Amino acid sequence: MLTRPIFLSLVLLGWSVPALAHPLTLDEALVAAVDGNADLRDAELALEQSLQRVGGAQGSYDPLLSAAHDQSHQESESFLGGSPLSSTTFSGTSSVGLTGALASGTSWSLTSRLASQSSVVVTDLSGTSQESTIDNWQASVIFGVQQDLLALLRPSAAAIAVRQAREQSDVATLAALETRQTVLAQVAVSWWSWESAWAQLSVAERAVAEAEETVRVTALWVEAGESERVELSRVQTELLAVRQALSRSRAEAARTGDALLVLVGAPTTSDAAELTPGGGSDLNLPALGDLDAHLARAREGSPTLARQRLAVENADRSVHDQRLSALPSLGVSGQVGMSSLEADAPTALQSLGGQSGFPSWAVGVSLSTPLGGRAAAASRSSANLTVEREALALDTLERRLDADVRDAARQTETASEQLELARARLKVAEETEAGEAARLSAGLRRTDQLLTARTARQDAESDVLLAELAQRQAAIELARLEGGVEQVLLARTP
């Protein structure tokens, strides 16, 4: 994990207050990005969402409580021995059940039921009306178990759902790691670009100051008759050019600063424009090692490659599931229960535990298999094709990663050579400018060669800054491909 000094937290508290004017270090930008970057936040939310799905899938093992009650009323009329007969029946049933399933393929149920029936019968025999009432209460308790006999070979649908949710959580974890590597690399490159733009701005400001001084001195020479007026026009034109370059440098510094603030999730307010890059952010670059070693580290450490390998493994497990789905369903079931029949509810309930209760039990075996099996065959074929596609994607990704590592290694080596060349050219340009300045001071009042030498020196300074930025970009890209961005950033030399 990236180290977070306590003082770095002020970055997150200072985006909208005058404290923005303090120098912003690379450490502060990285910490702000970890907490504020939109891509990182989205990856964290996706990971949290996948973990919630695991909990949701595991919820299929939670017991289910159910309750029901129904009431009915029925009236009827008929004849008994030629005499009219009418009846009115009131019925009610209440039940409470608890059901559940286990990962072992076992499902169980516990159900209690209490039913009542009250009938009022009215008969008319020889003109005499007679009424009788019959009350019956029936109570029962039943416990049942069902077991899939092939559960050891074929996981249940609930178990598959839990495993797939965990697989997606693993994928989301690797995706978050991949996003973290990418964002940290982007922030580092953005901060270095911002720092380089400020350094270019310093070069442009010095160029303006030098041009203004040259104009002042040349004007004195022209006034004293020691130089032609065309020399003054030449240096004044050069002053206009460097002032225009200064405006471009200021715009580039503002643009790279805004880009950095957007990347770390901070608002690009007017106060933010006053931020300046803090010092001390160079990389302690190790010597470029053997290419095979870089390739091996990339294949081992790349989160992108790890995510694709996981996709292949998940597809293989899906094929295994589809093969097992062709097996027939074979299960056993059993249940035991106790029931009672009494004239009132309390007695009916008490009888469930007494000798007046009626015990019951049942066992059964079930077997089912689809005829034809076209659905299972199609599912297996689809799963096999998914494996082929994921394997093809893995192979392509491995070859692309190897190519990217080779290119990044070449870019790192080229950038180092370019930086060395740029520094050598700067030294020559500085010496050339010094020589032209000396000749001008010695009495040669022509400024064209001095201006040419000065422009070459300023260009050489810019080339050095660009070469340093290119070297850092190449180094961090190689580290990203190897999955070691944080290790490289932690190895910085302040």
Could you tell me which CATH number the domain at 6-13+25-56+162-315+382-490 has?
1.20.1600.10
For 32-59, what is the mean pLDDT?
A: 92
Residue 282 has a pLDDT of: 63
pLDDT(251) > 50: yes
116-172 residue pLDDT tens: 888 887 777 666 777 788 888 899 999 999 998 888 788 888 888 999 999 999 999
Question: Which of 124-128, 297-301, 401-405 bottoms out in mean pLDDT, i.e. has the lowest?
Answer: 124-128
Mean pLDDT, the chain, rounded, equals 85
Selection from 28-37, 267-276, 460-469 with the highest mean pLDDT: 460-469
Instruction: Tell me whether residue 469 is exposed, middle or buried, using C-beta atoms within 10 angstroms of its C-beta: 0 to 12, 13 to 18, 19 or more.
Output: buried
Residue 351's pLDDT is 84
State the pLDDT at residue 403.
Answer: 96
Q: Which amino acid is at 373?
A: G
pLDDT at 445 over 60: no
Q: Give me the pLDDT at residue 237, please.
A: 93
Residue 256's pLDDT band (cuts 50, 70, 90): very high
Q: How far apart are CA 412 and CA 471, in angstroms?
A: 6
Confidence at 190, pLDDT banded by 50, 70, 90:
very high
What pLDDT is attached to residue 311?
94
pLDDT at 452: 87
Give residue limits of the domains in the chain: 6-13+25-56+162-315+382-490, 66-101+106-150+331-368
User: Rounded to the nearest 5 degrees, what angle is found at the Cα of 261, between the Cα atoms of 255 and 263?
Assistant: 100
Question: Average of pLDDT values for 325-352?
Answer: 87
Q: What is residue 10's predicted lDDT score, i.e. its pLDDT?
A: 31
Stretch 426-431: mean pLDDT:
93
Whether residue 105 is predicted with pLDDT greater than 70 in this model: the reply is yes
- Mean pLDDT highest for which of 6-15, 75-84, 206-215? 206-215
pLDDT confidence of residue 408: 92
20, pLDDT greater than 90: no
Q: Which residue has the higher pLDDT, 447 or 196?
A: 196
Min mean pLDDT across 280-289, 323-332, 465-474 is at 280-289
What b-and-e string marks burial along 241-277, b requiring 16 or more CB atoms within 10 Å of the CB?
Answer: ebeebbeebbebbbebbebbbebbbbeeeebbeebeb
Mean pLDDT of 433-459: 82
- Distance from C-alpha of 282 to C-alpha of 461, rounded to nearest angstrom: 17
Which of 9-23, 71-85, 291-305 has the largest mean confidence? 291-305
In the prediction, which pLDDT does 427 show?
95
Percent of the chain clearing pLDDT 90 (strictly above): 50
Q: What percent of the chain lies above the pLDDT cut of 70?
A: 89
Q: Sort 336 into a burial class: Cβ within 10 Å, 0-12 / 13-18 / 19+.
A: middle
The span from the CA of 406 to the CA of 122, in Å, is: 101
pLDDT at site 4? 34
Q: Is the pLDDT of residue 15 over 50?
A: no
d(CA 410, CA 449): 38
pLDDT band with cut points at 50, 70 and 90 for residue 22: low
Q: Which residues have a Cβ under 8 Å from the Cβ of 370 and sit 6 or more positions away?
A: 376
**408-423 tens-digit pLDDT:** 999 988 998 999 999 9
DSSP for 460-488, written as a single string: HHHHHHHHHHHHHHHHHHHHHHTT-HHHH
Sequence length of the chain is 494
Distance (Å, whole) CA 467 – CA 472: 9
Res 273: pLDDT: 59
Report the C-alpha gap between 451 and 453 in whole angstroms.
5
pLDDT tier, 346 (very low <50, low <70, confident <90, very high otherwise): confident
Residue 94 pLDDT > 90, yes or no?
yes
Q: What is the mean pLDDT of residues 432-443?
A: 81
Give the HSE-up count for residue 261: Cα atoms under 13 Å, Cβ half-sphere.
24
Higher-confidence residue of 285 and 300: namely 300
pLDDT score of 269 more than 70: no
pLDDT confidence of residue 82 = 64
State yes or no: pLDDT of 442 exceeds 80. no
Structure tokens that stand for 412 in this block: 């790192």
pLDDT of residue 395: 96
Give, rounded to a whole angstrom, the gap between the first and last alpha carbons of the chain.
19
